[in-house]
Amino acid sequence: MTTQTQRPRSWPTPLTVGMPSGPTVARHLKGYGNYLLHHALPPILVTGALLLLWQLLASGPTSTLPPPTQVISDTWDLIVDPFYNHGGTDVGMGWQILASLERVAYGFLLAVVAGVSLGVLIGQSTWAMRGLDPVFQVLRTVPPLAWLPLSLAAFQDSNPSAIFVIFITAIWPIIINTSVGVRNIPEDYRNVSRVLRLNGAEYFTKIMLPAAAPYIFSGLRIGVGLSWLAIVAAEMLIGGVGIGFFIWDAWNSSMISDIVLALLYVGIVGFMLDRLVAFIGNRVTRGTVAG
Amino acid sequence: MSSKYLNIENVHKTFGQGASATRVLKDINLKVDKGEFIALIGHSGCGKSTVLNIVAGLLDATEGGVILDGKEVNAPGPDRSVVFQNHSLLPWLTVYENVALAVNKTFKGKKSAAERRQWTLHHLEMVNMGHALDKRPAEISGGMKQRVGIARALAMEPKVLLLDEPFGALDALTRAHLQDEVMRIQTELNNTVLMITHDVDEAVLLSDRIVMMTNGPEATIGEILDVELPRPRDRIALSDDPAYNHYRHEVLRFLHEKQRKVERIQRPAAKESAAAVKSGAVA
C-alpha cells in the first residue's frame, strides 16, 4: 500500500540520445519537427499577430506612436552599432545597458550579503525577529524611488545613490526568504549536527546554507527582478549613462522610436537576469530537495 | 549497586509546565552491559523515543540522569550516535560525503586524511553501499538510505549505538534483509546497542534483552525479558523454534494483555480502558 502516486514522465521522445541508424534519423528529424511545431510555432504566431496589430493601429495619419517598421528604420543606427562612443552620454545602447547592469550588480551584491546575513539572524534568533520584523515590515513597503532623495542627501553623489536604491529594493525579499528558509530547516538536520557536535561555523556552511538555499534563491530571484525595475526609474532621475536616462533623454528629444527600442532591451535584459539567477539557483541547489 | 557500562538512573521526564505539564516518563532505571543489544518495545506514544533522546543527549531528563562509561551525559555527542527513523541524510551531500562529514568531524586530529577516507569507505563497504558512493540520497531506495544512516552512525565508533525505529519505514522484505545485516555487523563489532522498535519479531530476533515499556503518560519499564537464543540467529530456523516462539509470546502477552491491565489499575474510572480490556481479552 504505497501512498505515493506515480507520475508519468513525459519527455519529448525525440530528445533521446544514441546512435540512430538511417530510418531512426528520419524519425528523429520528424520528432524535432513536431517539437518545433508545438513549442516554437505558438510564440512566433502570437508575436507576429501582435506586431501586425501594432502596425495597423499606429499607421494612421493621426497616430501618436510609430509603427514597428518606422521604429526599425528610425533606430537602425542604434541597432547595428550598440557600442559606439561619441563622448558624454551619447554612447551606444550596449554601453547604456552595461552601465545600468553595473549599478545593479553593485547594489544587488551588497543586498545579497546584507540580506542573507540579516535573514539568517532573524531566522535563528526569535529575539532578533521580534525586534526587527516590525521595522522590516514597514520599510519594505516604501517604494524604491522614495529612497532616492534621502540617499542623494546622504551620499551627495548620484551613482552611490542609485546603487543604494537598488540595494534597498532588493534586500527585503532576500531577508524574508532567507529567514523563512532558516526557520524551516528540518529538526532532523539540527539533530544530526548536534550529534556530530558541529560548531557554529560548520553548522552555518554545512547545514544551514544548503538547507535554506532553495528559499534564498527564490528571494534572490525576486530581488534581482525588483532591482531591474528600480534602476530604470532611478536613472531617469539621476542622469548620466544608463538605460533609464537614455529613455528619459529620448522622451525629451521626442525620439519615440528610441524609447520603444530601449524598452525592448530592458525587457530582454530583465528576462535574462531572472533566468541567470534561476540557473545558478538550480545548479547550486541541485539535490537539495529532500528524498 | 554495581554500575554498568550504560546506566539510566531514575529518569523522569515532564513536558510543559504548570497545569499543562505532562509527565511522560517516570522512574526509568536500566543498566546495560558493554556489548549488549537492548530492544525497547512499547505501544506508540509511550515514550520510547524520549528515552532514546535522553540517552542521546538531544533531550534533558527532568530528573535523574544517564551515565555512560563513568561519565554523565548532558549533551549530544559522537560517542552516542543515532540512526534516525527517517534516515536524516543530508540531501545535498552524496552517500560518501554524508558519512565523511561524520568521520571527518569525529576523527579530526586523530586520523590522517587518508585514514579517514579509508575509514569512511570501510564502513560503507560494511553496509554494502560501496557501489553508490557518488549517489545522492534522493537517488537511492529507502533501504539503502537507512544503510547509509547505519554506516554513518557506526563510523563514529560510538560507545553506544542508538537505533530509533530504524526499519519502521521500510517494507517487510527490506526490513528483514537489514535486520540480518545488523546481526552480521553486530557479531563483527559487538557494539552496545539500544534499539527502539514496535516490531515483536525484530525485538526477539536481534536483542539480548527486551525492555518492555508500559503505556504513557507516566510510562515506565514494565518488564525485562532476557532472550537467551544462541547466536548467530537464523530467522527461518527460529520461526519454528519453541524458545523463540515462547519469547515472542511473552512480548505479545505483555503488549496486548498485561499492558491493558496496568492501564486499568492506574485509571480505574476510565470507561474506555475497561472497554479496551474487553477487546484485549477477545483478541
Residue B283 confidence (pLDDT) above 70: no
Q: Which residue of A has its CA nearest to B157?
A: A196
Confidence tier at A222 by pLDDT (50, 70, 90) = very high
CB contact A285 to B (< 8 Å): yes
CB contact A202 to B (< 8 Å): yes
CB contact B146 to A (< 8 Å): no
pLDDT of residue A22: 59
- The verdict on a CB contact (< 8 Å) between B82 and A195 is yes
Q: How far apart are CA B180 and CA B174, in angstroms?
A: 10
pLDDT of residue B2: 55
Confidence tier at A1 by pLDDT (50, 70, 90) = very low
CB contact B41 to A (< 8 Å): no
Give how far A206 is from chain B: nearest CA, Å: 9
Helix (H, G, I), strand (E, B) or coil at B273: helix
- The verdict on a CB contact (< 8 Å) between B56 and A197 is no
pLDDT of residue A11: 42
- The verdict on a CB contact (< 8 Å) between A195 and B136 is no
Q: Residue B91: which of A195, A196, A290 has the nearest Cβ?
A: A290
Cβ contacts below 8 Å, chain A against chain B, sum to: 64
Q: Would you list the DSSP string of A176-209? A: HHHHHHHHTS-HHHHHHHHHTT--HHHHIIIIIH
Percentage of residues in chain B having pLDDT higher than 70: 90
Which sign, positive or negative, has the C-alpha torsion A52, A57, A60, A66? Answer: negative
Give how far A106 is from chain B: nearest CA, Å: 30
Over the stretch A233-276, which tens digit does the pLDDT of each residue have? 999 998 888 999 999 999 999 999 999 999 999 999 999 999 99
Give how far B268 is from chain A: nearest CA, Å: 38
On average, the pLDDT of chain A sits at 87
Measure CA A124 to chain center.
Answer: 28
Could you tell me which residue, B276 or A43, shows the higher pLDDT?
Answer: A43
pLDDT of residue A239: 84
- The verdict on a CB contact (< 8 Å) between A195 and B90 is no
CB contact A192 to B (< 8 Å): yes
- The verdict on a CB contact (< 8 Å) between A287 and B80 is no
Give how far B209 is from chain A: nearest CA, Å: 26
pLDDT of residue B198: 87
pLDDT of residue B270: 44
CB contact B142 to A (< 8 Å): no
Confidence tier at A9 by pLDDT (50, 70, 90) = very low
Residue A38 confidence (pLDDT) above 70: yes
pLDDT of residue B41: 93
Percentage of residues in chain B having pLDDT higher than 90: 55
Over the stretch A144-180, which tens digit does the pLDDT of each residue have? 999 999 999 999 999 999 999 999 999 999 999 999 9
CB contact B102 to A (< 8 Å): yes
pLDDT of residue B18: 80
pLDDT of residue A130: 94
CB contact B137 to A (< 8 Å): yes
CB contact B132 to A (< 8 Å): no
Is the pTM higher than 0.80?
no
Over the stretch B172-182, which tens digit does the pLDDT of each residue have? 888 998 999 89
Over the stretch A103-139, which tens digit does the pLDDT of each residue have? 999 999 999 999 999 999 999 999 999 999 999 999 9
- The verdict on a CB contact (< 8 Å) between A196 and B78 is yes
- The verdict on a CB contact (< 8 Å) between A291 and B139 is yes
Give how far A138 is from chain B: nearest CA, Å: 35
Confidence tier at B21 by pLDDT (50, 70, 90) = confident
- The verdict on a CB contact (< 8 Å) between A196 and B101 is yes
CB contact B179 to A (< 8 Å): no
B contacts of A198 (beta carbons < 8 Å): 105
CB contact A282 to B (< 8 Å): no
Residue B65 confidence (pLDDT) above 60: yes
- Note whether A224 and B106 are within 8 A (CB): no
Q: Which residue of B has its CA nearest to A289?
A: B91
User: Any idea which of A11-15, B52-56, B85-89 has the lowest mean pLDDT?
Assistant: A11-15
Q: Which of A188, A190, A195 to mutate to test the interface with B (most CBs of B within 10 A)?
A: A195
Q: How far apart are CA B235 and CA A81, in angstroms?
A: 80
Could you tell me which residue, B23 or A113, shows the higher pLDDT?
Answer: A113
CB contact A188 to B (< 8 Å): yes
Could you tell me which residue, B19 or A43, shows the higher pLDDT?
Answer: A43
Give how far Cα A66 sits from Cα of A46, A82, A262, B55, B197, Å.
20, 21, 14, 78, 77
Q: How far apart are CA A188 and CA A195, in angstroms?
A: 11
Confidence tier at B282 by pLDDT (50, 70, 90) = very low
- Note whether A82 and A92 are within 8 A (CB): yes
In which residue are the cell numbers 549530544 written? B76
Over the stretch A62-78, which tens digit does the pLDDT of each residue have? 888 999 999 999 998 88
Closest CA relative to residue B122, chosen from B154, B78, B161: B154
B contacts of A287 (beta carbons < 8 Å): 91-92, 136, 138
CB contact A90 to B (< 8 Å): no
Q: What is the mean pLDDT of residues A183-210?
A: 91
- The verdict on a CB contact (< 8 Å) between B58 and A207 is no
- The verdict on a CB contact (< 8 Å) between B91 and A194 is no
- The verdict on a CB contact (< 8 Å) between A196 and B82 is no
Q: Residue B138: which of A192, A213, A287 has the nearest Cβ?
A: A287
Count CA within 13 A, CB hemisphere, residue A231. 34
pLDDT of residue A203: 93
CB contact A197 to B (< 8 Å): yes
| B61 contacts: CB under 8 Å, gap ≥ 6 | B11, B12, B13, B25, B54
CB contact B209 to A (< 8 Å): no
Could you tell me which residue, B109 or A106, shows the higher pLDDT?
Answer: A106
Cell of B232: 548467530
Confidence tier at A21 by pLDDT (50, 70, 90) = low
CB contact A212 to B (< 8 Å): no
Over the stretch B233-252, which tens digit does the pLDDT of each residue have? 988 889 889 999 999 999 99
Could you tell me which residue, B189 or B263, shows the higher pLDDT?
Answer: B189
Q: What is the mean pLDDT of residues B17-24?
A: 84
Beta-bridge partners for B68? B6, B71
Q: Is B241 exposed, middle or buried (0-12, 13-18, 19+ CB in 10 A)?
A: middle
